[in-house]
Amino acid sequence: MNCNISPIETVNPGVIPRTEFKSSHDDPFEYPGQPPEGSYTTDGYNVMLTEFVSDSVENGERKVRFSIFNPETGKNEDLDTYLDAKGLPLMEDRVPVIAYGANRNPASLFRKFDYAKEGDPSLLVVPVIQATRVGSDVVWSKNVGARGRQFADMVTNDDVSDTKIGIAVNFLTHDQLAIMHSTERQYDIIEQGEVELAGGVVIPGFYYSGTEGEAYKIGNSPVAVSAIPGKHRVGEEHTAESSLSTIIDRLHTAQTLPDRLNGNWQSAQEFMDYYALLETDEKRLLRLDLDKFLDENEMGYKHTRPIDARVHEWSTNSLPTMSVLLNGMGEQGVQGRLFTNDLIADLKKRAVVDDIIHRVAAGI
């Protein structure tokens, strides 16, 4: 495999250093992190402008093509040509998965895949194509995660049937998808509805959906993640910090509280600082108390996951590649290798998955 990748100094507007983008690791309240404007491909070091070129039939098969500015040549070229030159799977052989939170951010993608690359830079190369989706919204979860702040989830139901959001689609290799799934322990991967890629290409929607299936609400509506562009939203929009602040404010007005919630925190930052000092078991118990408090005060929004959604078992079922999606799944339904038990066993043997889980859970 010829996949030599390194940072390239350039002033070309088609290339941005990955270090220009912050992730929530640097600041939890940066979550979900700001992505580049438009579609891009990252190699872990460079963020390269990527644009839709065509949607056509070639040799009897439908193909969607994109162009990329290649900093190594200083020219625009076909994205598949760029991938092929590095010995990497082409776009048609990659699995498209909706990215609506931190996975839109090149710094977050680098952080996830860099842990597992073990000298293999091919794991760092990810095309990320801009997309839109109607009938869903990206909202804050009711639960707080391992770092003490809420995380994003996607709600799909009649309440948000008119909502249109701007998201992205990660085109992942099978190895990347195995690693990605190991970092999304609070989610299932489900199939529901459609997503429209840049250029108007419509494909079925596969995305991570919170296993708790419950969002945070103010009034009767879920609280939208303000960093995700959206139209015709039904509820308030909040940042990571302001959403958590509304929960802290609600604690102040409660007549009685469990001891673990009696911290009298004056801000979301104070709560985060306190939470960071707790032992793992104490963090878990605090989260349980907070979850119970929100339930008792009717601040949980249920039914985030549509009843017709298909949940995929990550170690056994398959997800389709782009080629399968464009050219039909046939009578057998979803086809194409996702990841095999042999691959998972190999990853575990190398302690990659366990290491990622530990690091993500610990926020390090």
pLDDT tier, 354 (very low <50, low <70, confident <90, very high otherwise): very low
Q: Are residues 132 and 248 in the same domain?
A: no
Please provide the average confidence, as pLDDT, over all residues in the chain. 83
What's 32's domain CATH number?
3.10.490.10
Same structural domain for residues 72 and 166? yes
138 and 32, same domain (yes or no): yes
Residue 173 included in any domain: yes
pLDDT at residue 347 is higher than 70:
no
Q: How far apart are CA 42 and CA 21, in angstroms?
A: 12
> Over 90: is that where the pLDDT of 303 sits?
no
Q: Is residue 223 part of a domain?
A: no
The domain boundary, picked from 251, 281, 300, lies at 300
Q: Is 256 exposed, middle or buried (0-12, 13-18, 19+ CB in 10 A)?
A: exposed
Tell whether 104 and 150 lie within a shared domain.
Answer: yes
Four-residue CA torsion sign, 48, 54, 58, 60: positive
Confidence of residue 282 (pLDDT cuts 50, 70, 90): very high
**What integer pLDDT is reported at residue 195 of this predicted model?**
94
| pLDDT value for 118 | 65
Q: Is residue 91 a part of any domain in this protein? A: yes
Whether the per-residue pLDDT at 330 is higher than 80: the answer is: no
> What's the pLDDT tens digit per position in 67-118?
999 988 888 999 999 999 999 999 999 999 999 999 999 999 998 888 766 6
- End-of-domain residue from the set 265, 283, 300: 300
Q: How many angstroms separate the CA atoms of 279 and 347, rounded?
A: 29
Name, of 5-14, 289-298, 325-334, the range with top average pLDDT. 289-298
Relative to beta strand 75-78, strand 61-70 is antiparallel
Residue pair 127/121 in contact by the 8 Å Cβ criterion: no
Residues 62 and 161 in one domain: yes
Q: pLDDT tens digits for 216-231?
A: 999 999 999 999 999 9
Into how many domains does the chain fold? 2
Examine residue 230 and state whether it is found in any structural domain, yes or no: no
Beta strands in 120-177 (DSSP E): 126-134, 137-144, 150-155, 164-172
Q: Supply the pLDDT for residue 320.
A: 83
Per-residue confidence (pLDDT) for residue 136, from 0 to 100: 94
N residues, the chain = 364
Query: What was the pLDDT predicted at 114?
Result: 84
pLDDT at 312: 67
Is 218 part of a structural domain of the chain? no
Q: Does residue 83 share a domain with residue 199?
A: yes
CB 326 within 8 A of CB 63: yes
End residue of a domain, out of 272, 300, 328 = 300
Domain contains 274: yes
Distance CA 204, CA 189 (A): 13
Residue 346, burial from CB neighbour count under 10 angstroms (0-12, 13-18, 19+): middle
Identify the pLDDT of residue 184.
83
172 and 136 assigned to the same domain = yes
- The per-residue pLDDT for 285 is 93
Looking at residue 54, its pLDDT comes to 92
Range of the domain at 201: 15-213+305-362
Please determine, for residue 315, whether its predicted confidence score (pLDDT) is greater than 80: no
Q: Which residue has the higher pLDDT, 179 or 212?
A: 179
The pLDDT-based confidence of 9 (bands split at 50, 70, 90) is very low
For residue 134, give Cα distances in angstroms to 20, 39, 164, 193, 301. Answer: 30, 19, 4, 9, 20
Same domain, 272 and 340: no
CA 107 – CA 99 distance, rounded (Å): 14
Do 48 and 154 belong together in one domain?
A: yes
Instruction: Give residue 3's pLDDT.
Output: 55
Does residue 312 lie within any of the structural domains?
yes
Task: List, for residues 169-208, the tens digit of each pLDDT value.
Answer: 999 998 888 888 888 877 888 888 899 999 999 999 899 8
- Statement to judge: residues 136 and 182 lie in one domain: yes
Residues 90 and 185 in one domain: yes
Give pLDDT, residue 170. 97
pLDDT greater than 50 at residue 46: yes
Domain contains 2: no
22, 76: one domain: yes
Asked whether residue 256 carries a pLDDT value surpassing 90, the answer given is no
Element (H, E) at 357: helix 352-362
